[in-house]
Structure 1
Amino acid sequence: MAPPANGSSISGHDLAATYADRIRGKIVLVTGTSQGSLGEEYCLAIAKFEPKLLILAGRSVDKLKYMAEAIGKIDSKVAIKPLELDLDSLSAVKKAAETVNSWADVPYIDVFCHNAAIMGTTHAITADGFERQLGVNYMATWVFTNTILPKILKSQDPRVVLLGSDGHRWGPIRWHDHNFKGGETYNRWHAYGQSKTAVHLYALYLGKLLGQRAQVFGLDPGVIITPLGGHVDWAGEFGDINRIDFELGNDEAVNGWPKYRSKEAGIATSIYASFDPDLSEHTGAYLADCQVANPYVHTVRPWASSEVEANKLWKWTEELTNMKFSF
């Protein structure tokens, strides 16, 4: 199946319809399903095509009820299972993952689509002492995904889909100072860039590690207005963002940002990564516009696509978290 020719504007709902037979009967775990989010839109798109089970993960199970009700209105036969997941604490993340592993009625997971993230926040640290954007967007992702991976690998067509961002262009991994000297040197966009760079490197490493045992993708959904950036004064922040783009030599400093796209278009690449039948040779790839990202067209910085950096990140993360995983 060829990638959609209009991958930057196609509706994820329309794309899901083309994969209806591949969605039917699947068990899908989705994080970041808050109201108005891409995770919510993703669930609404695939709920139309008879998935076997949707596991909805969020900080508050009570807040997941509206999502379950919305899915029920689309198809009351779709089974829903809520999961409490607090990404600010690695012990809580580990507990949530172990809960998933303990569910005897969920013997495998076909697709794990991880949308949950924070962006451009003021300086704070997680319960484990990590700068919060790095801790929530990457460290928690690494622990949760790795812990549930044995259950994902029991699927006949296992997929791990991790939402990254073209915002990775704002910063490589700060190996020498990932916590910004306790906030003294903190810049919210460098921090966000670092966290999303880490997500893309993790997807690259995990894809190479697993090979044909699973398909793993990091992706850029595009520039979409969602509650993720609702707290940001974009008019006030634009000058700093533009300065960073100039300093790092990013094309966006001159050419401007890509056009905004709708939430329907924003989930298209996630749908593509989750269900397209022709991606097995590209596991570990960075996807954009419903295709393997082209660095001549899409924002793909070397620091987010280097196998050397990806290998280094894995070992570095093992040391920082004092955790090791083998598959």
Structure 2
Amino acid sequence: MSSYTRETDGDQIASDLSSTIKGKSILITGVSPGGLGAEFAITISKHFPRLLILAGRDVKKAEQTAAKIAEVAPTVEVRTLKLDLASQSQVREAAQEVNAYKEPGYIDVLVNNAGIMATMPYTQTVERIESQFGTNHIGHFLFTNLIMEKLIGADGSARTARVVNVSSDGYRLGHVRFDDWNFDNGTTYNPWRAYGQSKTANMLFSRSLAAKLADRGLISVSLHPGVILDTNLSGHLDASGFQGLLEVDRQQGNRKYWGPFKGKTPLQGVSTHVFASFHDSIMLTNNNGVYLEDNRVFRPEEVLTWGRDDIEAQKLWKLSEELVGEKFLY
């Protein structure tokens, strides 16, 4: 499919795909400085996208990223958007703002990058959903569906858009707990198993979007950016926090993860973001709904069944609709 490797950085892939990035309108969630969303936005800004919409819970931090983009790509239009994925009412406000945009008429790429990881102690969202599941999946599920007409259009006209859900190989840590997504309101909570559940949900959400909307021109994939230890996602974790990760991997028999992590730089980390968002190979029919790592599509046998099962994806869609109190029929 490509000659890219795990060491390839985002700048190289963006340069190779510069003509595809040019003129695109892209919305990115989770864009605080020091995170992969900001790194991705800055990387692609150098290739003349039409518009970058930077969505985050803290607008001031989004504005800091916008200021950095203005330094490296002063001609690119940038907007900031308040998006608190832990509050469904605020997600609805953000979606209403996006839908009210006169220009652009369409969003070409939505990158659901925002997320939290292995948070302690146990907390819940405004709607009393375990925070990692509620923020990483349910918030994105609601936001994406509410702005769907910006992606695929309302008139049935043929166009192509992409939804890229940033998951993690941490999906190995937990399937979706359909009968107990809240970990018995915290009494059985393990931060890494909860993280795994949310990342599995990201993968299944992409499969559902692909199954439901491929005939409307929507492409949706999920990805693992790699282990990037020097970002704000893991800044709250100390040695004991990562020891907890090792313990779960040992309990589950994930032997390949018992050794030391082989990390990436942030710029290497966003390379798969760029690849998934713009590479032509993702347009292939059999690649819709797939999972990527290291700038390549993983074969089904490389993905644990709970991260690619279409029945599980259907069950998750139904549960997600119940948790947001709205059905999305396509």
Structure 1 equivalent of residue 2 of structure 2: 3
TM-score between the two structures when normalised by the length of structure 2:
0.93
Structure 2 equivalent of residue 70 of structure 1: 68
Q: How is 1:159-198 mapped onto 2 (pairs within 5 angstroms)?
A: 159-198=162-201
Distance in 2 between the 1:126 and 1:3 partners? 41
Structure 2 equivalent of residue 125 of structure 1: 124
SS for the counterpart of 2:262 is coil
Structure 1 equivalent of residue 291 of structure 2: 286
Q: How many residues were matched structurally? A: 321
Structure 1 equivalent of residue 202 of structure 2: 199
Shift of 1:88: 1.2
Distance in 2 between the 1:292 and 1:69 partners? 34
Distance in 1 between the 2:23 and 2:78 partners? 13
Shift of 1:320: 2.3
Q: 1:228 aligns with which of 225, 230, 233?
A: 233
TM-score between the two structures when normalised by the length of structure 1:
0.94
Q: Deviations over 1:108-154 (max 9, x none)?
A: 00011111100010110100010001100000010001111111113
Equivalent AA in structure 2 for residue 4 of structure 1: S
Distance in 2 between the 1:295 and 1:244 partners? 24
Equivalent AA in structure 2 for residue 59 of structure 1: R
Structure 2 equivalent of residue 138 of structure 1: 137
SS for the counterpart of 1:28 is strand
Distance in 1 between the 2:237 and 2:50 partners? 38
Distance in 1 between the 2:87 and 2:242 partners? 31
SS for the counterpart of 1:259 is coil
Tell me if structure 2 keeps the 8 A contact 1:4–1:290. no
User: Is it true that 1:313 corresponds to 2:313 in the alignment?
Assistant: no
Tell me if structure 2 keeps the 8 A contact 1:221–1:270. yes
Q: Deviations over 1:262-286 (max 9, x none)?
A: 1111011110111011212211111
Structure 2 stretches of 5 or more lacking a match?
none
Distance in 1 between the 2:89 and 2:106 partners? 23
Q: How is 1:209-248 mapped onto 2 (pairs within 5 angstroms)?
A: 209-212=212-215, 213-225=217-229, 226-233=231-238, 235-248=239-252
Tell me how large the CA RMSD over aligned residues is: 1.5
SS for the counterpart of 2:46 is helix
Structure 1 stretches of 5 or more lacking a match?
none
SS for the counterpart of 1:224 is coil
Q: In 2 relative to 1, CA 57–238 (structure 1 residues): closer, same or farther, beyond 3 Å?
A: closer
Structure 2 equivalent of residue 251 of structure 1: 255
Distance in 2 between the 1:314 and 1:64 partners? 30
Q: How is 1:29-68 mapped onto 2 (pairs within 5 angstroms)?
A: 29-68=27-66
